[in-house]
Structure 1
Amino acid sequence: MTLSTAVPPPTSSGPVIDPPARFRDLLAAEWIKMRSLRSTPWTLGLVTLFVIAAAAVETWDSYTDFPSLSPEDQREPMLALADAFPLTGYWTLVFVAVSAGAIAVVSEYGSGLIRTTTVAVPARGAVMLAKAAVVTVVWTVVGTVIAVGCFAVSQAIYSGQDVSVPISNPIAVRALVASALLPTVCALIGLGLGVLIRHGAATMVTGIFTLIALPSFFSITTRWSAGINHAMVLTAWDRLTALWPQPSGDGFYRPTVTESWIVYAAWPLVAVVVALLVVRRRDV
């Protein structure tokens, strides 16, 4: 007699549904995208060296002219900080940061990778927040390294004349923080413009025009024009890195420190909010 073992018939199961992506997974994915671009380390490294070198060159020029200054100017306590954050170097940094922020978005639209991303993660808002977070962290780190490097180099050069400014000085701290955050603000503006325009060259031109060229169209001799000028990022940075009190009653309208910090916060916030609204309402 043969005994047979009964085998239960196979049961059909429904489709396997992958769990939704966690936000930390989105952060890791966005970091991999940014890191995998061959231009990223070269761009960050070169712009860091360039801005610090610009601070060193300008400080050295002032240092060599130091003996020819009047005794009153030589005793000026903030003299050693005057060239720590050079305009040429930081304009270049603004150009690179706004372009990099735009590329973080535009490169995916240009290659079609954005379709794969939205299929894998339908929550477009979460993807955009992850992009903004990665851009914020990367450029804050880069901006901090550059600002601290510029400050250290300039003070090391001026230490030969015993007029260096300590990092604990409140004006030095304000200038350091403002300079460290400037590329972050610009990169987030570039990201927001990239979502709106979706074209690399057009986004970069728009960002550079808005940040660098547009403030020059509005003077500070009339109240309405000065109000627009004060709302510009580079105007805010210029005020936050100002070493001496701003004169009043001379026919010019100048921003306050508080207004400048508000501008610093408002631009990236508006850029990210607009990017979130656009990606949720517009088809890929």
Structure 2
Amino acid sequence: MAVAGQVLRSEWTKIKSVRSTVWTLGLAALVTVGIGMLISALSRNEFDNLAPQDKIQFDPTFISFAGMGLGQLALIVFGVLVVSNEYSTGMIRTSLAAVPQRGIFLFSKITIATLLAFAIGMITSFAAFFTGQAMLGPFKASLDDPGVLRAVIGGGLYMTLITVFSMGVAAMLRSPMLSLGILMPFFFLVSAILGNVSATKKVGQYLPDQAGQKVMQVVTAGDDKPYGPWGGFAIMALWVVAALLGGYVVLKKRDA
């Protein structure tokens, strides 16, 4: 336990001393809240022009999270940098020499980064909700409406899991450029295509981001996904566990 505590403190020092990792968290919050406010304001102005079916499916809570798609970009970068920076600089050799217990090393790194992502994710999710609802005016939702609190908490959890998934992938690939070169197209191109093409839609709905975003939805009219909010969250969590296990196996078996 004493060793684990020392490693946790060491990883905290590493993260806070690298300015780029700190800035990415702030950028994630800023982008998520800012774009959410903008889309919410536009949605308020266009609500009267919506078709009747679109008005039924109007989800003011989910609309306030419209910026999360881009905000998660910064969280992906944060997760990748936390894990793979040491590989790109060669410091991983020193770290593993100091902490030969590779499981403790990886656990400590991921624990500190996850706690940071969780704190930022929750603050951002609540901030995005309240500012977005302020922009929606008469069409806003209230935090005590059915399903809303779950969706807002789910938004923070979603941001956390995206970060942890990125860390698991980075631990497997051990390169910031390769990790980002795979994760960015995966979330911003591949997932979108698979989820919107009828032939692949049934596959796309089980990808981590599409499944995880279900927990942020309150209005489910017109949604034909075969799982509920927490079911989608569980699917995303399984992806995260698989990525972490893969990262641990690679770290355990390969030299630095």
The TM-score, its normalising length taken from structure 2, stands at: 0.87
1:198-217 aligned at under 5 Å gives the runs: 198-215=174-191, 216-217=193-194
> C-alpha distance in 2, partners of 1:60/1:191?
34
C-alpha deviation, 1:167, in angstroms: 0.9
Letter in 2 for 1:196: M
Corresponding residue for residue 80 of structure 1: 60
C-alpha deviation, 1:170, in angstroms: 3.3
C-alpha deviation, 1:219, in angstroms: 5.5
> C-alpha distance in 2, partners of 1:204/1:40?
14
Q: Select 2:91's aligned residue among 101, 113, 134.
A: 113
Corresponding residue for residue 120 of structure 2: 142
C-alpha deviation, 1:277, in angstroms: 1.5
> C-alpha distance in 1, partners of 2:233/2:212?
9
> C-alpha distance in 1, partners of 2:33/2:50?
25
Corresponding residue for residue 6 of structure 2: 25
Letter in 2 for 1:186: I
- Residues 227, 26 of structure 1: CA spacing in aligned structure 2 closer, same or farther, 3 A cutoff? farther
Q: Secondary structure at the match of 2:63?
A: coil
Aligned 8 A contact 2:28 2:72 in 1: no
> C-alpha distance in 1, partners of 2:46/2:198?
33
- Residues 234, 72 of structure 1: CA spacing in aligned structure 2 closer, same or farther, 3 A cutoff? closer
CA-based RMSD of the aligned residues comes to 2.7
Query: Does 1:233 pair with 2:212?
Result: no
- Residues 218, 91 of structure 1: CA spacing in aligned structure 2 closer, same or farther, 3 A cutoff? closer
Query: Does 1:255 pair with 2:226?
Result: yes
> C-alpha distance in 1, partners of 2:62/2:243?
32
> C-alpha distance in 1, partners of 2:205/2:57?
27
> C-alpha distance in 2, partners of 1:212/1:107?
23
- Residues 230, 64 of structure 1: CA spacing in aligned structure 2 closer, same or farther, 3 A cutoff? closer
> C-alpha distance in 1, partners of 2:188/2:52?
36
CA shift digits 1:264-283 (9 cap, x unpaired): 21122111111112111111
> C-alpha distance in 2, partners of 1:164/1:187?
29
> C-alpha distance in 1, partners of 2:52/2:110?
49
Q: Select 1:130's aligned residue among 105, 108, 124.
A: 108
User: Which stretches in structure 2 are left out of the alignment for 5+ residues?
Assistant: none
Letter in 2 for 1:274: G
- Residues 96, 79 of structure 1: CA spacing in aligned structure 2 closer, same or farther, 3 A cutoff? closer
Letter in 2 for 1:135: A
> C-alpha distance in 1, partners of 2:195/2:39?
28
Letter in 2 for 1:235: Q
> C-alpha distance in 2, partners of 1:129/1:79?
38
> C-alpha distance in 1, partners of 2:68/2:37?
13
Corresponding residue for residue 131 of structure 2: 153
Corresponding residue for residue 28 of structure 2: 47
Aligned 8 A contact 1:132 1:272 in 2: no
> C-alpha distance in 1, partners of 2:236/2:18?
28
Number of residue-to-residue matches in the alignment: 254
CA shift digits 1:110-139 (9 cap, x unpaired): 111111111111101100001111121111
Corresponding residue for residue 35 of structure 1: 16
Q: How many percent of aligned residue pairs carry the same amino acid?
A: 22
CA shift digits 1:76-118 (9 cap, x unpaired): 69653352110xx222222211221111121101111111111
C-alpha deviation, 1:62, in angstroms: 2.2
The TM-score, its normalising length taken from structure 1, stands at: 0.79
Query: Does 1:63 pair with 2:73?
Result: no
Letter in 1 for 2:43: S
> C-alpha distance in 1, partners of 2:177/2:250?
20
C-alpha deviation, 1:239, in angstroms: 2.6
> C-alpha distance in 2, partners of 1:265/1:51?
22
> C-alpha distance in 2, partners of 1:140/1:84?
19
Aligned 8 A contact 1:59 1:157 in 2: yes
C-alpha deviation, 1:187, in angstroms: 1.5
User: Which stretches in structure 1 are left out of the alignment for 5+ residues?
Assistant: 1-19
- Residues 266, 190 of structure 1: CA spacing in aligned structure 2 closer, same or farther, 3 A cutoff? same
| Structure with greater Cα Rg | 1
